[in-house]
Amino acid sequence: MVAMNMVAPPPDLAIISALQTKLVNALRPILPEDGLLWEPEDTIPYECDGLAAYRRMPLAVALPETEAQVSEILKICHAMTIPVVPRGSGTGLSGGAMPIAQGLVLSLAKLKKIVSIDPFTRTAVVQPGVRNLAISEAVAHLGLYYAPDPSSQIACSIGGNVNENSGGVHCLKYGLTLQNVLRVRAVLMNGEIVEFGGLAPDAPGLDLMSVMIGSEGMLAVVTEVTVKLVPKPKLARVIMASFDDIEKGGNAVAAIIAAGIIPAGLEMMDKATTRAVEEFVHAGYDLDAEAILLCESDGTPEEVAEEIERMTEVLKKSGASGIQISRDESERLKFWSGRKNAFPAAGRLAADYYCMDGTIPRRHIATLLKRIQGMEKKYGLGCLNVFHAGDGNMHPLILFNGADQDEWHRAEDFGSEILEACVELGGTITGEHGVGIEKINTMCIQFGEGERESFWGVKSAFDPDKLLNPDKAIPTLNRCAEYGRMRVSKGILPHPELERF
Amino acid sequence: MGSSDSQQQIDSFRKQILEAAKTKTPLSIEGGGTKTWYGNNNQFAKLSTKNYSGILDYQPEELVITACAGTPLREIEQVLAEKNQMLAFEPPHFGEQATLGGAIAAGLAGPARISVGNLRDFVLGARIMDGKGQDLSFGGKVMKNVAGYDVSRLMPGSLGTLALILEASVKVLPKPAASSSIRCQITQAAALQSLNKSAGQPLPLSASCWIGANQADSFGELTIRMAGAEAAVYAAKVSLCSSLNAKELDSQEAETFWTQLREQQLSAFINLQADETLYRLALPAACGPLDLGNVGNISSEIILEWHGQERWIKGPSDDATFAALKQLANAHGGHAMRFRQGAKVNPANQRFTLLSEQTHSQALEPIQARLRASFDPSGVFATNRLP
């Protein structure tokens, strides 16, 4: 596995074994018997998260059942200066939950109760291990739901969402995790319990919840979250528009927004993607189109009718060569099916694919797509382009064969050129997958030394001894030479049953 | 502003900051000077951002505007209005000269906050200068960005106590296709019930305000604004008018009302006596009418915004009254502050609820102190304007 050269040389086994015994002996008295794992056959499922190319075995895995246990575990590790990697469902795509060789993995999976639901105040209090979709399912009978819907929502946990500031297809209209969470209760590395935000607006002091959300498990361990619930739209319909030119498609995205419309979802696929997925899902996509846009409206039936009409008009004016509007829910899902299956479709085209996650200003979508076309020739590799076009978040899938060292290196260079182009066009290296271990080196492209030093200042303010997930997200000076990324080996994804992106 | 002028401004900020760092004397950052009364008293040497003004980038289809800290809010709002867009969180100006930097540092949002979110939700990126004179950029101009900690969002509401805001990128939204405001007479308890119930329905509720005497059963005036698609606003208006026995306001009257509410120019806000304080209570949605019986000689009139999550009360300025209000708010899961003080009230009064005064936030105090020390080791911004 090519990416494994990232991992540091193995430390002395005898030292590790002694440390492991010490840690296990210290944690045993406070955890139930099945709440502490250290035998390799038990800890191997924790060696990686959704980014399977990066693996490492931890000293041990703790699975507490209460906040008090979380606090005790952290106090012990703090006293022993053992680093801790918090873990939710392990669906993250940037290696944020990859273990540290001389550290503990702290799984929050057993804290999975929905503590309370209040339809009057439109809030739910949940433990971190509760799955994202489980919240919406639990409140569906009240006509409410939890808005952020990352594609892995069937499996990913709310604690993980808080740590990644997860979005989803609908975040253009409904916001990210930050905008949908009122209060986060967490335990600091020293075992102290803290609360960020609150049920009342504008909690006193600096807005520390803003840095806590999206902190990739580096600031505190989440033990309870109060989320906002919003009324479920009565209806959703989607327009599928074809364009004979990528530039026209990109401009149509900008035109929709400029017309004062905020679609519930606005997604784009290029021709290569459309062809790959059509073979897979038979959604009836226009195979001659250079770009296909999916543009969704939700709300009351009156609202949707009004908005669909306005959207259709803008799309026609932007030069759409074909327009289809979903007539019912099953057709809406059919139109979406290809977009949601872009990843497995890519897996059928090549042995491996490498997914990027940059974000760019919308007006540069066509520019970037044209540049990527040039890079395909330059590196001699194909690329499928799927976009959360509404917010400029793109997921180019670079196709390659990992068995061929040269192809992998070309894919690496291809990917870095895309990310550099994103930064150059005024965007960012990661829109939603997080930095984790994967993009830790590309952080050096996006941020200067001063900014990175400030990030370490934030880290130290919460965790002065730098024990909480310390090797993720923020590169040290030394790191800024290295390189890492996501690749999917032999088309095998961990959690293949999940929809992706 | 030309780029050389702009660099000169940045250099002069750096010079002032480094000098202050050397002498360890704090600086009071000021934009248009419209909110100098807000927050704890701080009268140190002034660092003015007023001349660092200008819109740097505005692409309507990107829904983002980037401007220098000293750019007047009204200039920004006017430029946005030309493209039928707006700052959806409706920041209060509190004066003609209000600036973008000041609005962000104050972190205040207007009536629409209950439906669109607070100012912080809209900040996408910021260029700041820390207490070491470092020129730093965080976040960016795109909605989705998870690279590094969200440091730009530490600026809203920080009242100049962390770093100097040089420039900011703020998300903007299209103006709603339609809006309508309705008004009815209703008790506070019934208003709170009705607003929270409506907020759980797919209705285009945008803002609310109830003004009346603070007793659960006294009638007051409830004004509700709806905004969104034509059809949705029309349907909601018909339904709420009938269930609340309300009447629609004419659009001019409605606009004046919401602007005056945002700017605190309604009669209930003005005429603050020289020895009085305007208190602001922030409360959870579940909080019904407050029992102010034990708070002493408090004004009978109360203003509720944000479906009751923000409440304004005038009263005596003494510490006992503030303590009683803090305790009352805290008991309901909220907090209280001295928002505005009359001319004769002791300016040295602590205006805020302290982190140490709430059990669940005590542990945040050392984090906040370390965070400030890391951005500002010499105390250039240590004005204590926000404790």
Question: What is the domain-level CATH number for residue A8?
Answer: 3.30.43.10
pLDDT higher than 70, residue A481: no
Classify residue A494: in a domain, yes or no.
no
User: Domain coordinates of chain B in residue numbers?
Assistant: 3-174, 178-262, 276-353
Classify residue A496: in a domain, yes or no.
no
Burial class (CB in 10 A: 0-12, 13-18, 19+), A39: exposed
From A16-25, A410-419, B123-132, the region with the lowest mean pLDDT: A410-419
Predicted confidence at residue A148, as pLDDT, reads 95
A351 vs B185: CA distance, rounded Å: 69
Q: What token pair was written down for A439?
A: 């993009």
Average pLDDT over residues A123-151: 96
Do A355 and A471 fall within a single domain? yes
Classify residue A353: in a domain, yes or no.
yes
> Which of A302, A363, A451 lies at the smallest CB-CB distance from B137?
A451
Residue A228 in contact with residue A183, Cβ under 8 Å?
Answer: no
Residue range B215-244, pLDDT digits in tens: 878 999 999 999 999 999 999 999 999 999
Residue range A271-296, pLDDT digits in tens: 999 999 998 888 889 999 999 999 99
| Residue B160, C-beta contacts closer than 8 angstroms, at least 6 positions apart | B28, B29, B105, B381, B383, B385
A9 vs A234: CA distance, rounded Å: 56
Residue B343 in contact with residue B274, Cβ under 8 Å?
Answer: yes
Please check whether residue B56 touches A, CB under 8 A: no
Residue B341 in contact with residue B38, Cβ under 8 Å?
Answer: no
Please check whether residue B84 touches A, CB under 8 A: yes
| Residue A134, C-beta contacts closer than 8 angstroms, at least 6 positions apart | A114
A69 vs A304: CA distance, rounded Å: 49
Residue A50 in contact with residue A92, Cβ under 8 Å?
Answer: yes
Residue type, B104: I
Predicted confidence at residue A486, as pLDDT, reads 39
Instruction: Tell me the CATH class for B276-353.
Output: alpha beta
CA dihedral defined by A436, B369, B362, A472, rounded to 10 degrees?
10
Q: Chain A contacts of B235, Cβ < 8 Å?
A: 300, 302
- Cβ–Cβ below 8 Å for B144 and A359: yes
Closest CA to A277 of A415, A153, A384: A384
Do A301 and A393 fall within a single domain? no
Give pLDDT tens digits along chain B (387 positions).
Answer: 667 789 999 999 999 999 999 999 999 999 999 999 999 999 999 999 999 999 999 999 999 999 999 999 999 999 999 999 999 999 999 999 999 999 999 999 999 999 999 999 999 999 999 999 999 999 999 888 888 999 999 999 999 999 999 999 999 999 999 999 999 999 999 999 999 999 999 999 999 999 999 887 899 999 999 999 999 999 999 999 999 999 999 999 999 999 999 999 998 888 899 999 999 999 999 999 999 988 888 888 999 999 999 999 999 999 999 999 999 999 999 999 999 999 999 999 999 999 999 988 999 999 999 999 999 999 999 999 999
For residue A459, the surrounding DSSP H or E stretch is helix A449-462
Write down how long chain B is.
Answer: 387
The SS3 of residue A447 is coil
Residue B169 in contact with residue B64, Cβ under 8 Å?
Answer: yes
Q: What token pair was written down for A85?
A: 């990697």
The SS3 of residue A452 is helix
Please tell me which residue of chain B has the smallest CA distance to A235.
Answer: B202
Residue type, A475: P
CA dihedral defined by A247, A249, A253, A259, rounded to 10 degrees?
90
Burial class (CB in 10 A: 0-12, 13-18, 19+), A401: middle
Predicted confidence at residue A484, as pLDDT, reads 36
pLDDT band at A489 (very low <50, low <70, confident <90, very high): very low
B178-262 and B276-353 share one fold: yes
For residue A454, the surrounding DSSP H or E stretch is helix A449-462
Q: Which residues, in sequence order, are bridge partners of residue A144?
A: A231
pLDDT-above-90 percentage for chain A: 69
Residue range A60-87, pLDDT digits in tens: 999 999 999 999 999 999 999 999 999 9
| Residue A177, C-beta contacts closer than 8 angstroms, at least 6 positions apart | A148, A161, A162, A164, A165, A166, A167, A213, A214
Predicted confidence at residue A10, as pLDDT, reads 60
Predicted confidence at residue B293, as pLDDT, reads 87
3-state secondary structure chain B: CCHHHHHHHHHHHHHHHHHHHHHCCCEEEECCCCCCCCCCCCCCEEEECCCCCCEEEEEHHHCEEEEECCCEHHHHHHHHHHCCEECCCCCCCCCCCCEHHHHHHHCCCCCCHHHHCCHHHHEEEEEEECCCCCEEEEECCCCCCCCCCCHHHHCCCCCCCCCEEEEEEEECEECCCEEEEEEEEEEHHHHHHHHHHHHCCCCCEEEEEEEEECCCCCEEEEEEEEEECHHHHHHHHHHHHHHHCCEECCHHHHHHHHHHHHCCCCCCCCCCCCCEEEEEEECCCCCCCCCCHHHCCCCCEEEEEHHHCEEEEEEECCHHHHHHHHHHHHHCCCEEEEEEECCCCCCCCCCCCCHHHCHHHCCHHHHHHHHHHHHCCCCCCCCCCCC
pLDDT higher than 70, residue A90: yes
Q: What token pair was written down for A497?
A: 């049953």
Task: Give how far Cα B114 sits from Cα of A143, A239, A438, B306, B310, Å.
Answer: 19, 31, 38, 5, 10
- The helix-helix angle for A365-379 and A246-258 (nearest 10°) equals 150
Predicted confidence at residue A501, as pLDDT, reads 43
Q: Chain A contacts of B59, Cβ < 8 Å?
A: 361, 363
B164 vs B135: CA distance, rounded Å: 10
Assess if CATH 2.60.40 describes domain B178-262. Answer: no
Task: Tell me the Cα Rg of chain A.
Answer: 23
Q: Chain A contacts of B309, Cβ < 8 Å?
A: 200-201
Mutation target for B interface from A428, A429, A455, A466: give the one with most B CBs within 10 A. A428
pLDDT higher than 70, residue A1: no
ipTM above 0.90, yes or no: yes
Average pLDDT over residues A472-487: 64
User: What's the topology of domain B3-174?
Assistant: 3.30.465
Residue range A204-260, pLDDT digits in tens: 999 999 999 999 999 999 999 999 999 999 999 999 999 999 889 989 998 999 899
- Cβ–Cβ below 8 Å for B143 and A300: no
Nearest C-alpha of chain A: how many angstroms from B149?
A: 5
Q: Chain B contacts of A213, Cβ < 8 Å?
A: 150
Per DSSP, which regions of A291-414 are E strands?
291-299, 322-325, 352-355, 383-388, 393-400
Please check whether residue B228 touches A, CB under 8 A: yes
Which of A231, A266, A294 is at the close of a domain?
A231
Burial class (CB in 10 A: 0-12, 13-18, 19+), B75: middle
Do A87 and A124 fall within a single domain? no
A140 vs A149: CA distance, rounded Å: 14
Question: What is the domain-level CATH number for residue A473?
Answer: 3.30.70.2740
Classify residue A487: in a domain, yes or no.
no
| Residue A83, C-beta contacts closer than 8 angstroms, at least 6 positions apart | A77, A100, A102, A103, A104, A467, A468, A469, A470, A471
Classify residue A200: in a domain, yes or no.
yes
- Cβ–Cβ below 8 Å for A198 and B154: no
Task: Give how far Cα A57 sits from Cα of A28, A126, A160, A437, B164, Å.
Answer: 19, 30, 20, 15, 44
- The helix-helix angle for A13-27 and A67-80 (nearest 10°) equals 140
A357 vs A376: CA distance, rounded Å: 17
Do A147 and A88 fall within a single domain? no
Which of A190, A205, A231 is at the close of a domain?
A231
Number of domains in chain A: 4
Residue B372 in contact with residue B386, Cβ under 8 Å?
Answer: no
| Residue A149, C-beta contacts closer than 8 angstroms, at least 6 positions apart | A132, A133, A136, A168, A169, A170
Do A394 and A470 fall within a single domain? yes
Mutation target for A interface from B58, B113, B115, B145: give the one with most A CBs within 10 A. B145
pLDDT higher than 60, residue A483: no
> Which of B85, B204, B355 lies at the smallest CB-CB distance from A205?
B355
> Which of B177, B202, B230 lies at the smallest CB-CB distance from A231?
B202
Average pLDDT over residues A306-315: 96
In this complex, how many residue pairs, one in chain A and one in chain B, have their CB atoms less than 8 Å apart? Answer: 284
Which residue in this structure is represented by tokens 């005024």?
Answer: A426
Which residue in this structure is represented by tokens 């095998």?
Answer: A492
- Cβ–Cβ below 8 Å for A435 and B148: yes
pLDDT band at A2 (very low <50, low <70, confident <90, very high): very low
Classify residue A98: in a domain, yes or no.
yes
Classify residue A396: in a domain, yes or no.
yes
Average pLDDT over residues A15-43: 96
Residue B157 in contact with residue B140, Cβ under 8 Å?
Answer: no
Which residue in this structure is represented by tokens 């990644």?
Answer: A164
- Cβ–Cβ below 8 Å for A207 and B158: yes
Closest CA to B303 of B257, B345, B256: B257
pLDDT-above-70 percentage for chain B: 99
Angle at A223 between CA A219 and CA A226, to 5 degrees: 105
Q: Which residues, in sequence order, are bridge partners of residue A396?
A: A385
Predicted confidence at residue A440, as pLDDT, reads 85
A321 vs B366: CA distance, rounded Å: 60
pLDDT higher than 80, residue A499: no
Question: B residues 286-305 near A, CB within 8 Å?
Answer: 286
Closest CA to A192 of A85, A319, A74, A15: A74
A277 vs A283: CA distance, rounded Å: 8
Q: What token pair was written down for B335?
A: 């907090």
Do A266 and A361 fall within a single domain? no
User: Domain containing A419: what range?
Assistant: 346-481
Predicted confidence at residue A151, as pLDDT, reads 81
Residue A37 in contact with residue A47, Cβ under 8 Å?
Answer: no
Please tell me which residue of chain B has the smallest CA distance to A182.
Answer: B284
Which of A110, A133, A152 is at the close of a domain?
A110
Burial class (CB in 10 A: 0-12, 13-18, 19+), B359: exposed
DSSP A489: G
